[in-house]
Amino acid sequence: MGPLTTVLRLPLYISLWVFAAIVLILTSVRLNYTLHLPKGDPLNNGVDFFDPIVAHLLACSLLALGTIPFVMQWVPQLITSAASANLFELASLSVIWLLWLVGCVVSTVSTPIVLRVS
């Protein structure tokens, strides 16, 4: 690891990992709660449901957690050139950023999309 990787990129990837782990935990808890509502629960009159965006945010956090070891080259890669490694990092971060952005936009819409589970 070069000095730029150690000083700048490593703390940023660690913070991304921490936030992705927090989102993973929160979305897992929310999915577990809304898919197993007790009878008489005031939320949705006790009928099990889930928001598709919660599953989307769960997938985004898993993708972010899985991509970081490859980008930081903690997992041996088949990519040998520095240009290809930089292109892989840029492409993976762009996809993760777009997925997080879509998740944030859809999760802040005032009218929720709710799917009932029978």
- What is the per-residue pLDDT for 112? 62
Residue percentage of the chain with pLDDT more than 90: 25
49 touches 116 (CB < 8 A): yes
* pTM strictly above 0.85: no
List, for residues 21-78, the tens digit of each pLDDT value: 999 999 999 899 888 888 888 877 888 887 888 888 899 999 999 888 877 777 676 6
- What is the per-residue pLDDT for 94? 92
Average pLDDT, the chain: 82
Distance of CA 43 to the CA centre of its chain: 25
Q: Can you tell me which residue has the tokens 């703390």?
A: 11
Residues 6 or more apart whose Cβ sits within 8 Å of residue 110? none
Question: CA 6, CA 19: separation in Å to the nearest integer?
Answer: 19
Paired strand residues for 49: 116
- What is the per-residue pLDDT for 51? 80
Secondary element (H or E) of residue 49: strand 49-50
Residues 6 or more apart whose Cβ sits within 8 Å of residue 39? 46
